[in-house]
Structure 1
Amino acid sequence: MWISQQITAAQNRKTAAEVAEVTGAAVMQGEREYRGIPFLGPWGIAYLPPNTAKTVVVGTGSRNACIGAVTQEKGIAPGELLLFSSGGASIYLKNNGDVVINGQVFAAQKEG
C-alpha cells in the first residue's frame, strides 16, 4: 500500500519549470504537451518562438505559462541587449551607446 501511494504521489507532482520544444503554433512538447498557454514577457514585447526553439514553461498556480525561450550564445557583453527574429532582423543596443540595426551602426551622440 505504501509503495503504491508513493508511486501515485510521484506521478502527481508537478515540476516547477520545464524546458519544452516548440512543435507547432503555440504548441510545446516537454514531459507533456502544452497547448494554448500564455507567453509571458516584458510589457510591450510580443513573441512567438519558432518551431524547434527550446522554451521554459512554469506552473503559475492556476495554469502553466511560457516565460521565455532558451537562446544560443550571441556574443553580447553583460549589460547589452539584442532583439532578433528568425528571419535575420536585429536591433543591438551596445554598452558604448551605439545602436546597430540590421548591421547598420548608429553611433552614440557625443555631448559637448
Structure 2
Amino acid sequence: MWLTKKLAGEQGVKLRSGQVVEESFAVQGESRYEQPEQLLPYGLSSWAAGGNQAVMLGGYCAGISRLPDPELAAGEVRLYSAGGAEILLKNNGQVVVNGHVFDWGEGG
C-alpha cells in the first residue's frame, strides 16, 4: 500500500483503521463512515463482510485487511465471494472456477 502511505505523507491525510459493520457497508473506527467510496482497481467491485478490518484514507476505504493466502504462489490471483464462489488464476495458465480446471497453459 505504498500509494496510501505516499498520499498520507504528502497531503497530511491521516490513515485510520476500523472494523466493517455487518448490517451495512460502514466502517467504525474513531469515526463512523457510512458507505464510504472504495479505492479498487478498475472493473472490480466488492462489499466487505462484517468483522473485517478496513483501512481508511481521508474518508475513502483504501483496503480491507486480510492475511496472505498460503495456497497462492507469487503472482497468482484468487477472486472469491462470501458465498463460496471462487476463481483462481494460476501462473501456469490454468483458470480454476469453483474447482473446475480450465487449462490454457502451454500445450493446453
TM-score (norm 1): 0.74
SS at match of 1:91: strand
Displacement of 1:100 after TM fit? 0.6
Give secondary structure in 2 for the equivalent of 1:66.
strand
Please state whether the residue corresponding to 1:100 is helix, strand or coil.
Answer: strand
Q: Which runs of 5+ in 2 are unaligned?
A: 1-11
CA distance in 1, matches of 2:90, 2:105: 13
TM-score of the superposed pair, with normalisation by structure 2 = 0.77
Identity %: 35
Runs of 5+ unmatched residues, structure 1: 1-13
Aligned-partner SS, 2:60: strand
Runs of 4+ in 1 over 2 A off after TM superposition: 108-112
State the distance in 2 between where 1:45 and 1:32 align: 26
Match of 1:80 in 2: 76
Give SS of 1:57's match.
strand
CA RMSD for the aligned pairs?
2.0
How many residue pairs align between the two structures? 95
Asked if residue 42 in structure 1 is aligned to residue 41 in structure 2, the reply is: yes
Aligned mates of 1:87, 1:100 — CA distance in 2: 17
